[in-house]
Amino acid sequence: MEVKILKQEIIGPGYLKEILEDSEKKLRKASKKGEELSLNSIQQKTKDSIAKFNKLNKDDELKLLRELTDLKIVRLTDNHLAQIITIIPKDIDELKTIFAGSKTTITPEDLEKIQSTIKQYEK
């Protein structure tokens, strides 16, 4: 059986949290008498981790993603965007670590644009 990717999109922890909570509600509704259905261990650990470390809700993640995309920084990939909305770097040095593992170079001006956009979402 071949698996085909039908759709690919960037999601952050806030969005994933919402998906897991919806799944959990559906499982509770689907539970039969005396039978307890719940998230599997990986899903539950993911949900717990998100609850502990998540910085933005789904709506703020989507707004930030839109604003970062609107900056039209050519070398900013979907992977970089996903890491940015997950980590919410506090400063330029932390932002640079996202690009350190790749061969991508971002100009200091573009790093400033990205960081000033992120600052609006810091809590």
Burial class (CB in 10 A: 0-12, 13-18, 19+), 55: middle
Query: For the chain, which residues make up each domain, given as ranges?
Result: 13-29+37-53, 58-119
Q: Give me the average pLDDT of each 10-residue run along the chain (123 residues).
A: 87 92 86 75 92 91 96 93 94 94 89 96 79
Burial class (CB in 10 A: 0-12, 13-18, 19+), 8: exposed
pTM for this structure? 0.80
Give the pLDDT score at 36: 74
Pairwise CA distance, residues 95 & 115, whole Å: 7
